[in-house]
Amino acid sequence: MKLFQILLFCLLSSGLLFAQDSQTTNETQTTSPEVSAEEQTLSAVKKLIGFIRYKKNDKALALIHVGKFSDKLLGDHKISAAERKEFEEGISEYIVNKAFPIALKYFDKIDITYDKPSVNGKQARIGSSILYKGSDQIKFAWILSESEGAWYISDFETEGKLATEINRTKNIEPSIKKNGIKGTISLIQKAAKN
């Protein structure tokens, strides 16, 4: 079960896992006055899982808000716009090549149970669980942010800890300290290709 939790955590938080800011995609969700924020957030998460299951990686990636994810990962580190773009592109490639295949392996045959979304302004949390191997219940949560009228997955929570917080302190900050931002970006790009 611990291995599964680690792999599930990889969906949105693997050592160098972040997402592409893709608000300009033609798959952008639109907010409708008839549809509640709770329904919109749950729809975004279910679409993400569906796109991963059907290997529609570009559409799945479009539901992840890399800008917010990257902000949390970088913390107080200031980087140039060009470095930020490179950072996010590397993260996007990593998600498509590494995280989505892992997620597909585990979400493909397992039904996810969703709690009622909790929406607070432009932030939302959806508790979820899966029954792994018929007996182990694994709980986790999707963290979403509203941006320009649409809801995007912006973080992932497991065992009460945010993926961005864990990755910032265990991976990003040590790498930036040791390798600088350029070296960290290079490591992300290399990991995405291997």
The whole model's pTM is what?
Answer: 0.80
pLDDT number for residue 13: 41
pLDDT digits (tens, 9 = 90+) for 14-27: 333 333 333 334 44
pLDDT digits (tens, 9 = 90+) for 28-67: 445 445 889 999 999 999 999 999 999 999 999 999 998 8
Are 29 and 51 in contact by the 8 Å Cβ rule? The answer is no
> Could you confirm whether domain 37-193 is CATH 3.10.450.710?
yes
pLDDT band, residue 7 (cuts 50/70/90): very low
Cβ burial, residue 137 (10 Å; 0-12/13-18/19+): exposed
> CA-to-CA distance for 169 and 73, rounded, in angstroms?
8
pLDDT(12) > 80 = no
> CA-to-CA distance for 102 and 158, rounded, in angstroms?
16
pLDDT(106) > 90 = no
What kind and span of H or E run contains 118?
Answer: strand 118-120
